[in-house]
Homo-oligomer: A and B are copies of this chain.
Amino acid sequence: MSGAEDLCRQIEEQGARVRQLKAEQADKEQIGAEVALLVELKEKLRIATGQPEPAKKGSGKTITVKTPKGTKDYTAREMAVRSEIFGKIVGVFERHGAVTIDTPVFELKEILTGKYGEDSKLIYDLKDQGGEECSLRYDLTVPFARHVAQEGIKKIKRYHIARVYRRDQPAMTKGRMREFYQCDFDIAGVYDAMIPDAECVRVAVEVLSSLDVGAFVIKINHRKILDAVFAVSGVPEDKIRPISSAVDKLDKLPWADVRREMTEEKGLSGEAADRIGAYVQLRGGPELLDTLRAMPELMANKSAQEGVADMDLFFRYAAIYNVLDRVSFDMGLARGLDYYTGIIYEAVLVDESERPAVAQPTAARAAGDGADVDESQVRVGSIAAGGRYDELVGMFLASGRGKKRAKDEVPCVGISFGVERISSIVMKRRGDQAIKTNKTAVYVVAPQGGLLEERMRIATELWDSGIATEFAYKAKPSLASQFVACGADVIPWAVFVGKDELERGVVRIKSMAAQDKAQGAGVEVPRADLVAELQKRLGA
């Protein structure tokens, strides 16, 4: 082997290594090091083969061949895993009677305005090229509410699996991207309290149990209870939104930091912050409702009474739905979005060994003491979230029709699954297991090469019979290349055609599965029976 050929081989192997690491979303430093080695090898090859130095960047109109920041391509392997995940999720949604609808990837800008609180700055706008001002959708919920209002729908249970867009600082390795899939399930319509709400949590438990994600807990809270907490703690009306945002960080930050944000950044009094702290660090199961009922100051608040009554019903239904052991009443859960009006929930993965208590309330911890935060309670990651939003559809009815009447309102509750996160967990758990990315069942092989038209004829017959079939796109393929194709694509069956066999009116069928290697040359079958023989083997 010449030096250049050796270099070529090394470059090919190194390239494969880099692609493999990228596919696994490996550590950036590691990828960087391997890329550097690749560049070095290529430079060696350039010198060895006497090629000129490549043009410097900027010297011509070189373009950057990559996907935009925060986006990525999905390889066949990733798509195979993803389609398996989507299949399971859709299976659950359909088990609960949902239909699916689709909305455009962009909306009129004003449809999205004022729906996402502090995060509105992350909305992607389209360039004004004359015409309407449009933005890429930020979630699937606002477009759903717009659709319900626009079409005058009174009730619908729908799911929607599609990509949404957020101009956030991407963190690809953590699965935080600018373009990512959401899988939403929502129930719209005037129904009795907490029945659809509990079903959404049941749906979440079914989905997450069916996927290979590990242990999880669904944290629950109620916006009306949270409103009451802010009211009785003395938070001024205009500070409720920012204080709520601060509370929402309790899953990532210790209480001391959250308190500091409330008092120093957001100008709340220390006393009010401490009162809030006593409430929002409470968590547990249904019996936490008794704890709340024993708090006269809180229960004097009408909003608190309504929230507690809802949560009482919720726990009753959750017990019937067999999901009580999966939910944790967490008074620190706030959820950032503006549009929630009732129950809110968030599913988080937990370390199997350090699962948060779900059945007994945790005593309120001393406010202001960061060291007191129980690290075992820190979540591994949020993988689904949702809640009730009774006024969102009405916002579009009001503005769209110049009036707003109670009878027009369409209350909604829903849940959204973060599939990027789920996929990357499933991919990681799957490791380097072979994943079949195609559905090919048969490869037509000419061991002595040639016989192109006969291979085409056989493929045509198999296609006509619905059998997924491939063959080498060469007039004279080598035997090795045909075997490599079977192996690389995990194709279970091969049909061998040879000149003398064709003269005898037969072909050979051979299983390509590793455990069947003992079968040797395979089985000869009459050419005319090939389709039937294969169908027998494929169980079709």
Contact = CB atoms under 8 A, between A and B. Distances in A.
A110 B66 CA distance: 11
A96 interface: yes
B65 A400 contact: yes
Contacts of A457: 320
A408 to B, nearest CB: 12
Contact of A179 (B71, B105, B187, B401): B105
A536 interface: no
Nearest to A64: B108
A105 B468 contact: no
Nearest to A442: B97
A43 to B, nearest CB: 12
Given A195-B452, A468-B96, A72 B167 contact: no
A491 B175 CA distance: 39
B104 A72 contact: yes
Interface stretch (A75-83, A225-233, A524-532): A75-83
Contact of A100 (B76, B103, B470): B76
Contacts of A187: 473
Contact of A127 (B82, B125, B147, B456): B125
Interface string A416-452: 0000000000000000000001111000000000001
A301 to B, nearest CB: 26
B95 A468 contact: yes
Contact of A101 (B73, B96, B146): B73
Nearest to A46: B403
Contact of A54 (B64, B83, B403): B403
A317 interface: yes
A60 to B, nearest CB: 8
A126 interface: yes
A438 B98 contact: yes
Interface string A113-145: 100000000001111110110101000000000
Contacts of A126: 124-127, 136
A475 interface: yes
Given A61-B399, A128-B127, A167-B129, A456 B321 contact: yes
Contacts of A473: 187, 189, 191-192, 195-196, 199
A402 interface: yes
Given A95-B469, A463-B202, A104 B68 contact: yes
Interface of A: 15, 19, 51, 54-55, 57, 61-69, 71-76, 79-80, 82-83, 94-108, 110-111, 113, 124-129, 131-132, 134, 136, 146-147, 149-152, 156-158, 163, 165, 167, 179, 187, 189, 191-192, 195-196, 199, 202, 206, 316-317, 320-322, 396-397, 399-403, 437-440, 452-453, 456-457, 460, 463-464, 466-470, 473-475, 489
Minimum-distance CB pairs A-B, first 3: A54-B402, A65-B400, A191-B473
17 contacts: A63-B396, A65-B146, A71-B106, A79-B100, A80-B99, A83-B100, A94-B468, A97-B440, A97-B469, A99-B437, A124-B127, A124-B129, A125-B127, A129-B167, A192-B475, A195-B452, A321-B456
